[in-house]
Amino acid sequence: MKHFFNRKDSIVTEALDGFLATAGSGTLARLDGYPEIKVVLRADWDKTKVSIVSGGGAGHEPSHAGFVGAGMLTAAVSGEIFASPSVEAVLAAIRATTGPAGCLLIVKNYTGDRLNFGLAAEKARAEGFAVEMVIVADDIALPDIAQPRGVAGTLFVHKIAGHLSESGHDLASVAAAARAAAKDIVSLGISLSSCSIPGQAHEDRFGADDGELGLGIHGEPGVERIALEAASKLVAIMAERFAARLDPHSRYALLINNLGSVPPLEMSLIANAVLSSSLARAVALTIGPGHLMTALNMNGFSLSLIRLNADREAALSAPVGPHAWLPAKPVRQPVVVAVAKPASRDAAKTTSRDAGVERLITAICEKLISLEEPLNSLDAKAGDGDTGSTVATGARSVLDRADTLPLADRGATLATIGDILGTSMGGSSGVLLSIFFTAAAQSLKGGAPLGMALLAGLDRMTFYGGAKVGDRTMVDALEPALKAFDASGLEAAAAAARRGAEATAAMRKAKAGRSAYIGRQLDIADPGAFAVAEVFSAVAAMFAPA
Which positions are catalytic?
218
Closest CA relative to residue 282, chosen from 318, 245, 311:
245
Residue type, 509: K
Query: What b/e sequence results for 391-414 when a residue is b if at least 16 CB atoms lie within 10 Å of its CB, and e otherwise?
Result: bbbbbbbbbeeeeebbbebbbbbb
Indicate the burial class of 48 (C-beta count within 10 angstroms; 0-12, 13-18, 19 or more).
exposed
Helix residue ranges, H only, 337-426: 355-370, 372-380, 387-400, 410-424
Residue 255, Cβ neighbours under 10 Å: how many? 27
Contact of 504 with 532, CB cutoff 8 Å: no
Closest CA relative to residue 532, chosen from 476, 449, 487, 448:
476
Q: Where are the beta strands (DSSP E) in 206-299?
A: 210-213, 224-227, 252-258, 283-291
94 three-class SS: helix
Angle at alpha carbon of residue 29, lines to 24 and 32, rounded to 5°: 145
Given its phi and psi angles, is residue 242 left (phi above 0), alpha (psi -120 to 50 degrees) or beta?
A: alpha
Indicate the burial class of 446 (C-beta count within 10 angstroms; 0-12, 13-18, 19 or more).
exposed
Distance between CA 55 and CA 65 in Å, rounded? Answer: 8
Contact of 443 with 466, CB cutoff 8 Å: no
- Strand order, beta sheet including 103-108: 28-30, 39-42, 75-81, 51-58, 103-108, 131-136
Residue type, 358: E
Measured N-to-C along each axis, helices 427-445 and 387-400 cross at an angle, to the nearest 10 degrees, of 40
Closest CA relative to residue 259, chosen from 324, 327, 193, 186:
193
Query: What b/e sequence results for 256-290 when a residue is b if at least 16 CB atoms lie within 10 Å of its CB, and e otherwise?
Result: bbbbbbbeeeebebbbebbbebebeebbebbbbbb
